Amino acid sequence: MNTKKISLLLTSIVMATAALAQGDPKLTELYTPVPKVVTAGKVTSDAPSDAIILFDGKNLDEWVSTEDTSKAAAWTVGKNILTVKKGTGNIQTKKLFTNYQLHLEWRIPSNITGEGQARGNSGVFLASTGKGDAGYEMQILDCYNNKTYTNGQTASIYKQSVPLANACKKPGEWQTYDVIWTAPTFNEDGTVKSTAKVTALHNGVLVQNNFELKGETAYIGAPQYKKIGPSAVKLQAHGDKSEPISFRNIWIREL
């Protein structure tokens, strides 16, 4: 190996070490295998009689601001839909839940721009564990002809579980998530007694099949658990510059 090659090798090692030290988010991204694309059929979703209606198009009475839960949720309600208001932060349910079945519908705007993670990024935190993005996120993103790391694409459990299929509909079309969530349980000393588990359908297609979570979803580094009790369901106002996405028809059944 000549001096130039050794120098290049050393530079690479120094850069990799620096990335590790700073906590490089790329270290937890996966790119293969890529889930197969499945064209979903029509999906319907009227709330069953015992559901708690979280959003029916009229108001955000069931929601608060994540950053200050004494404050009303500041996203936009109009024309029977809820639209993310960027810059106002995440919103979460007033009620707290443990195990449940959740239905929600979301729509990427037809004029969406951006690429990768910056194209209609939002998310549903199946249990919020604090401010910001603390908790367990199932990703919402436009992955209709948009490539990103597979464990961060639509219907992934963010950076933990690649979805079993890519069932994304075109921007402008309404899409559904149906999620069965089993909350983690903890021993007195805070250690995990049983992991969180998630089964989910995206537009009626199975995308998560009783996946056992490794902890809270993390942008950087390994997932970890922290002891929680009943928790809010949270929706993400992601900081990317793309056009804000909308929601409608959100309901939940406690199990």
List contacts with Mg ion (CB under 5 A): 121, 123, 236
Least CB distance to Mg ion at residue 117 (A): 8
DSSP 115-170: -GGGSS-EEEEEEE-SSTT-EEEEEE---SS----GGGSTT-BTTTB--S-B-PPP
Least CB distance to Mg ion at residue 188 (A): 33
Least CB distance to Mg ion at residue 105 (A): 17
Q: Specify the DSSP class assigned to residue 96.
A: -
Yes or no: say if 158 and 152 are a contact pair by the CB < 8 Å rule.
Answer: yes
CA 72-53-62 angle, 5° bins: 10
Nearer to Mg ion, 88 or 98 (CB): 88
Least CB distance to Mg ion at residue 159 (A): 10
Please give the span between the terminal C-alpha atoms of the chain, in angstroms, as a whole number: 64
Yes or no: say if 85 and 237 are a contact pair by the CB < 8 Å rule.
Answer: yes
Nearer to Mg ion, 35 or 123 (CB): 123
Measured from the Cβ of residue 169, the count of other Cβ atoms closer than 10 Å reads: 19
Least CB distance to Mg ion at residue 157 (A): 11
Nearer to Mg ion, 9 or 220 (CB): 220
Measured from the Cβ of residue 3, the count of other Cβ atoms closer than 10 Å reads: 7
b/e map 116-129, b = 16+ CB within 10 Å: ebbbbbbbbbbbbb
Residue whose CB is nearest to Mg ion in the complex, by number? 123
Least CB distance to Mg ion at residue 182 (A): 22
CA distance 121 to 143: 10
